[in-house]
Structure 1
């Protein structure tokens, strides 16, 4: 019978007893089942036996059988598995026991899913080929297959007798010889290559030649390399990273060179080796300038400039190239213009011996990119020069907002012109200011989005709720007033904003930075307890979140009063704009926090002297706590009146 041997044994034996199905299900759940037994004395109906078989084989469609075939062949299967005459040598050597135990439900459960899926109900190739030795115990095994197996055994033994197979190399040679002999016969009969058919049937990867494999690997690396380069600069993400890192352009470039380029020492060794090979004519010298016909060079002007130079004068070829307007055919300036001009001069036979550096040549060491094999370099971020160009373009297009220009100043710099003379250049530079109105509007949106802004309807509160609210915001004294609701509503809309400034040196230049932020007040913002109750999943410090500093003004400025006064008019204009603006809140400016010099400047206090502190306590009494407690600090209004009266 052409049924799978596992199907024969399971149908003939294990479908008789329902307990076999129970043990099978436990085995599927990885429960400890040592052996799946069956009771041969049980007599289940054919329908029940069919259902048991289907439940065992439901995950393997190739083992399914229709009810009609199952009922028709069940008696024959029963006799095929049970009777000794259907086994080799009439079961004289226990062939039936070996056959039934090997194709038992226990062994079927122990097979992997891949092995189970290789079996099929009819003409099972796995039983005929892979399990031939055990299948041959039963007489239902095809005679043609037996003959084919015997011939394969004879052929294999013949090949093995001619070679030493105790080593891996010997076994490989035998297999290679067998394939080479079978291949032409197989190809003649089937029209397909035997090696290709074997590789496809067993899902083997064909051996790729070394050059082809190297080419494929190189293509994969090139693709990955391009993807990494694209990812590094996608949507200008490297620009965002650079701006948020706080690094200077120089620091960014140093970090970039350290990661993706060889060290100076390694590059110097490589450059020296190449120079030696060029000198010994082992390799050709690199020609970085190409054909001189691709450049616009005024030879007469070049000769005139060289004639004007005195003996022993060093030549700056880059400056000379700019002076004679050396360009490419498309009228663009070549980056190696000095190198092009020098070799053009040498090619024209112009005598350069009278100049001091005419024969001196210092080979420049260039740091090359690190290699990852196959002449591919490590993907590196874009240079700081490229980032600087992108940032400038975004500023010009107003994609990056850096505020308004304020406080113009004249800035002098020195430079060397094309003639080598020291010149002074005067530029007008400006500070930058983000309008206070913009800062307040953005901060209101940020705080409202953060959920820390207090928004209370005092009119709907009962007296007890109002009293509890006043205690919560530490304003119990307001509850005693007659118009408590109106006062609370008014104060809730009055947000205090503080301001401070300080000086610092950046690259040997003095800069001033003005900062501002809202002051935390329970009248305006939720307390810690209220916020945690409202947003239990958020863990933030409310006061720190509210008092986040914002840049207001930044610009070049000394610490003198004269320099700092240049920023007064823009600040006054901001205050006037806020008074006219229609905001959701009423901002109240609180001046001033910061160090002593800054506070002295803001309040009009003298610097140094006997009364250096804005509190009004004499310097000699700073350690006298009684004097400090009893001294009343002058308000800004009192200081203003003093100045206006002319008695200051």
Structure 2
């Protein structure tokens, strides 16, 4: 033990004597620098790594490693946030309950992207750097050897087309069944096909003269990039596009998850549009009104009100146990002054009153998204013969806060909705 202490003291004294500083940290560095060559030769590892492992220390991270770790954390958090937002299509439910149109939703979604002036400025800077050789132009395709299709046949067909021909690159990609070597269909296979033709000396800009093309009629299309988090390249959590929400809604309507009723009252609308060639095109669209079946509405309302604990439900045994005096008293509570008749007659009369619910239908013209609609709403009419009063509900549920039973019962439900003119013709 004594020899180890002497060795330690001599080592520190020797290092300290040749060091130009009194700093403990710098002396430690000198010790490590002195021991490292011998330690590495004997144990095939550095002295720092061994100390880090034995003392459970974290190795010092380089700026690049810190940046990489930060990006990984932010990327994972962004992915988790997007997953939580889209869980069970909660974003679709929120959109449908907001009353916004798809166009309005998409406009608000654009707030997550850079502005158009900023995007244009970034595009110009990018093009200038590419022209000066500072950065390489982006490629939206891989090596053409990694794509499988009849290349010679395609080149032969595209070469036979005259200048000014209308070429649909996506349709050609489907025709020649462009796939990767992994038998996957590229989402931009039309673009892949166009760039393949261009790389083989085909002047792709001689086609589609009726359209404005990037690289021919203008330098490059301005794309608004997603906003970044902090000073990283990680983008902000982004809501799904209106196009994707629309696809989800369409799927849920078809499978019955979203109930839109039955189509009624078809009406044909003619719309005038100008094509890319500049000609006027008339398109006819058939628009249906929607009607939700009455029995479906009432069944849902019965379930809703019963679940709320407001519906008054009495079995036959309840009425059979009532004598004539109780029946008459109950009828008077319900403002039924005519109490003439025998007990059985009055009992059946009370049953009928407490088992007959009244419904109310009202309609109105409304303007929705700049179109006039007529809508019919339906709801139960509250009465204390079929539904509990506020006091009765509070007595049965003393632990719950007070509620307005009439407000819950008379919640209106959509019955019929359809486009209509603003003028009522008589």
**TM-score interval, smaller chain:** 0.7 to 0.9
Secondary structure, counterpart of 1:531 in structure 2: helix
Which of 290, 295, 301 is matched with 1:432 structurally? 290
Deviation at 1:527, TM superposition (A): 0.4
The answer on whether the counterparts of 2:194 and 2:204 sit within 8 Å (CA) in structure 1 is no
SS class of match (1:429): strand
- Change over 3 Å in CA distance of 1:350–1:393 after alignment to 2: closer
Match of 2:268 among 400, 410, 424: 410
| Cα deviation 1:173-230 (Å, max 9, x = unaligned) | 1112234455677789999865445434433212244545544444444444444443
Structure 1 residues 509 and 188: alpha-carbon distance in aligned structure 2, compared to 1, 3 A threshold: closer
Q: CA deviation at 1:520?
A: 0.9
Name the structure 2 match of 1:371: 228
Cα-to-partner distance string for 1:267-325 (whole Å, 9 max, x where unaligned): 1221222233344454444465887969676454443x56xxxxxxxxxxxxx334996
Output the CA distance in 2 between the equivalents of 1:171 and 1:466. Answer: 99
CA distance in 2 between partners of 1:355 and 1:393 (Å): 36
CA RMSD of aligned residues (A): 4.2
Spell out, residue by residue over 1:108-155, the C-alpha distance to the aligned partner (whole angstroms, 9 max, x if none): xxxxxxxxxxxxxxxxxxxxxxxxxxxxxxxxxxxx4x7755664564
The correspondence for 1:499, drawn from 361, 385, 405, is: 361
Residue 164 of structure 1 contacts residue 171 of structure 1 at CA under 8 Å; is this kept in 2?
no
> Corresponding residue for 2:203?
348
Whether the 8 Å CA contact 2:357–2:381 is kept in 1: the answer is: yes
Computing the radius of gyration from Cα coordinates, the structure with the larger value is: 1
Higher relative contact order (CA 8 A, sep 6+): 2
Unmatched runs of 5 consecutive residues or more in structure 2: 179-184
Q: Which residue of 1 aligns with 2:97?
A: 244
Query: Retained in 1: the 8 A contact 2:171–2:190?
Result: no
Asked if residue 441 in structure 1 is aligned to residue 299 in structure 2, the reply is yes
TM-score by length of 2: 0.76
Helix, strand or coil at the partner of 2:265? strand
1:321 aligns with 2:176: no
Please state whether the residue corresponding to 2:251 is helix, strand or coil.
helix
Q: CA deviation at 1:525?
A: 0.4
TM-score, length of structure 1 as denominator length = 0.52
Q: CA deviation at 1:558?
A: 1.3
| 1:267 to 2:119 alignment | yes
Which residue is 1:459 aligned to? 320
**Deviates most, 504-513 or 181-190:** 181-190
Kept in 2: contact 1:298–1:324 (CA 8 A): no
Matching residue of 1:518: 380
Deviations 1:218-248 (A, max 9, x none): 4444444444443333333322222222221
Give the aligned partner of residue 387 of structure 1: 245
Asked if residue 541 in structure 1 is aligned to residue 388 in structure 2, the reply is no
**Are the counterparts in 2 of residues 301 and 324 from structure 1 also a CA contact under 8 Å?**
no
The 1:466–1:355 alpha-carbon spacing in structure 2 relative to 1, beyond 3 Å, is closer
Distance 2:170 2:52 in 1: 70
**Offset from partner CA, 1:89-108 (integer Å, 9 cap, x none):** xxxxxxxxxxxxxxxxxxxx
Contact 1:298–1:326, Cα closer than 8 Å, also in 2: no
Q: How many residues align?
A: 397
Q: Is the 8 A contact 2:262 2:291 kept in 1?
A: yes
The DSSP-based 3-state class of the residue aligned with 2:27 is helix
CA distance in 2, matches of 1:189, 1:385: 65
Please give the per-residue CA displacement for 1:380-411, whole angstroms capped at 9, x wherever unaligned. Answer: 12211112122222323333221101111122
1:324 and 1:189 map into 2 onto residues whose CA distance is 65
Give a deviation string over 1:39-94, Cα, whole Å, max 9, x none.
Answer: xxxxxxxxxxxxxxxxxxxxxxxxxxxxxxxxxxxxxxxxxxxxxxxxxxxxxxxx
**Structure-1 residue corresponding to 2:391:** 529
Alignment partners' CA distance in 2, 1:523 and 1:446: 18
Deviation at 1:436, TM superposition (A): 0.7
* Counterpart in the other structure of 1:361: 218
- Aligned partners of 2:220, 2:54: CA distance in 1, in Å? 62
Q: CA deviation at 1:503?
A: 1.1
Alignment of 1:175-186 (within 5 A): 175-181=28-34
1:173 is matched with: 26
- Asked if structure 2 preserves the Cα contact closer than 8 Å seen for 1:183 and 1:193, the reply is yes
Question: Is this contact kept in 2: 1:495–1:524, CA < 8 A?
Answer: yes
Give me the whole-angstrom Cα distance separating, in 2, the residues matched to 1:302 and 1:398: 50
Tell me the distance in 2 between the aligned counterparts of 1:350 and 1:460.
92
User: 2: distance between equivalents of 1:189 and 1:384?
Assistant: 65
Partner-residue secondary structure (3-state), 1:237: helix
